[in-house]
Structure 1
């Protein structure tokens, strides 16, 4: 017997409340604990234009922890959207930006900008975002060309091409990291490649704050067409959908978003793969409901994970990608076992 999906609006309200609580905890917890009421007092003073109070609490909340928590929410929401779209576009539950090679392309562009000095301004700035997007888009075009070779479109061929190209680019990225003569820079790049939100600043939030809502609206407007794609290309074309054009524009949009996310947070694995699966168990496969739930749940998940990464060890910070992999692999194995059990 099929499980009835939960109502979307109440679920989104619950997830929104949980996200707000997680953001408060993320800003409140740390080496210097700050009471939640003081966190909101600082936010209120800053947003209403009141002069900040003297002391370190205002600086810690507004300049350090709040931008990081908001960046985690934006990146998590973006990864949830990208994973949901990728799995629908290629009709493969294993598809995500990593299996399609797009994340590796974005990582290569960003590392090239860091190691070779191609990014203007250095650090995680606009130059790095542009380099990551260029790498993601170039990889997308290459994988798309391989998948379309000989005419037609085969989702399995696209995934296999993405895995092959991604592995090649990962090897080249490792070569660039080893080529760097600066040991401190090499250590920083390696840590960033495993996923890090430690460089969060208010200016850094601009690119994901624009890209995530824009791609969300784009995908939401095409939710019915994404549903049609799940029935197959011929069925979707029979409904009047230009399948090739739809895939082209949505792959371009998700490549853009992937490039922005990798530029500001590094390569964070398993979130884009895991979040859509979990959300489908709750709300079903209709993308009109699935997309907003995946975005909010992805934001909640990454805020909690980043809080764990900051506070789990006293002397150092864990890379975000390490924790998401430790969480994601067992979760996916459980979901796979559950699906196989229900299919018997």
Structure 2
């Protein structure tokens, strides 16, 4: 992360980053100019930290969802969360009240989760496959509504703002966004990362999990709800960023094996590293242009996931 802060048109070293951080923590006086200190402290450092917390949170959610639904293609947006957040964000953008975007995106993701769980429950006792199918249905419906709102109401610069949000971007990252992402990860990501025993039990099926004394319905609902709330909080800060929650859990399993006690922290670290690297590329590789970070994660993620699939096939 310190190395990522140094990347950019301004000539900044890791030592400069350390001096700026020490100065703002009242540990030492900073010899840096006001401009260089502002570049580090106000622009780059909050952006890098936000990327790290969001990447870690999305990766943990990916592990939890893949285990609790027993679906290797599950990711944090499986239950319609991304589509719900996108609809909420687009509505406030076209209404001209972008200041409410984080709240609207968070609310939209929670409403999407509620719709998915209600639909899955109305079809009978909830099961992993029924929940996944309900999530696909809700996601498709909300995506269609989002497209309708954009087609019907978006004008002028709102198109660019909507596109940037839908593709995911950390260009507007600030310390307030860092605080939201950090608080969400600490409050929900860490408890999810401590659910290794429950997730290990789910890997053997609900019957085995029940024989181990786990209330599978309540445990799965709690894990899904916590993952949804965490994803909603992260999406509210960054927009929709794909592939992190899908790719990183599979990559981490190559290092740790299937056991969740080690898999969860390794996935969190991998997600943080991936998103920090992707955002660094997004803001610097095409300077002075800046790409949405979601484009970079897709460019990196799609071929990497294909390679993982081929490697898994060869190992069978």
Pairwise TM-score range, normalised by the shorter structure: over 0.9
Equivalent residue, structure 1, for 2:4: 26
Structure 2: unaligned runs, 5 residues or longer: none
The offset of 1:210, in angstroms, is: 0.7
Paired with 1:334 and 1:256, the residues of 2 have a C-alpha distance of 31
- The worse-fitting range, judged by mean Cα deviation, of 214-223 and 266-275 is 214-223
Alignment check: 8 A CA contact 1:178 1:186 kept: no
Q: In the aligned structure 2, how far is the partner of 1:31 from the partner of 1:160? A: 47
Q: Deviations over 1:243-300 (max 9, x none)?
A: 1111111111111111111111111011100000000111011111111111111001
Match of 2:86 among 98, 101, 107: 107
1:76 aligned residue (55, 75, 94): 55
Aligned to 1:274, the other structure's residue is in SS state helix
Query: Aligned residue for 1:152?
Result: 125
Q: Secondary structure at the match of 1:32?
A: coil
Task: State the distance in 2 between where 1:114 and 1:108 align.
Answer: 10
Cα drift, residue 181 of structure 1 = 4.7
Shift of 1:329: 1.2
Matches within 5 A, 1:149-228: 149-228=122-201
Q: Which runs of 4+ in 1 moved over 3 A?
A: 49-55, 178-182
Aligned 8 A contact 1:68 1:200 in 2: yes
Question: 2:253 maps to which residue?
Answer: 280
Q: CA deviation at 1:85?
A: 0.7
Contact 1:180/1:186 (CA < 8 Å) preserved in 2?
no
Give me the whole-angstrom Cα distance separating, in 1, the residues matched to 2:43 and 2:81. Answer: 30
CA gap 1:217/1:158 in 2 versus in 1, 3 angstroms: same
Offset of residue 109 of structure 1 = 1.7
Residue 94 (structure 1) aligned with residue 83 (structure 2): no
Q: Is the 8 A contact 2:94 2:154 kept in 1?
A: no
* 1:111 Cα deviation after fit: 2.2
Q: CA RMSD in A?
A: 1.7
Q: Structure 1: give runs of 5+ residues left out of the alignment.
A: 1-22
Residues 101-139 of structure 1: CA deviation (Å, up to 9, x unaligned):
11211222222233235x6xx43xxx4333222211111
Find the counterpart in structure 1 of residue 218 from structure 2.
Answer: 245
Distance 1:215 1:286 in 2: 20
1:56-71 to 2 correspondences below 5 Å: 56-71=35-50
1:155/1:62 CA distance change after superposition, 3 Å:
same
Cα distance in 1 for partners of 2:183, 2:286 equals 33
Secondary structure (helix, strand or coil) at the match of 2:309 reads helix
Separation in structure 1 between the aligned mates of residue 225 and residue 119 of structure 2, nearest angstrom: 16
Cα drift, residue 49 of structure 1: 6.3
TM-score (norm 1): 0.87
Corresponding residue SS for 1:183:
coil
How does 1:8-19 map onto structure 2 within 5 Å? none
* 1:314 aligns to 2:287 (yes or no): yes
Give the number of aligned pairs. 315
Aligned partners of 1:129 and 1:259 also within 8 Å: no
d(CA) in 1 for partners of 2:306 and 2:220? 29
**Could you tell me how far apart the structure 1 residues matched to 2:104 and 2:188 are?**
19
Asked whether the 8 Å contact 2:53–2:182 carries over to 1, the reply is yes
TM (norm. structure 2) is: 0.94
Deviation sequence 1:305-343 (CA, Å, 0-9, x none): 111111111231111111111111111111112222222
Q: Which residue of 2 aligns with 1:339?
A: 312
CA contact 1:106–1:133 (8 Å) conserved in 2: yes
Partner of 1:252, secondary structure, is helix
Q: Secondary structure of 2:157's match?
A: helix
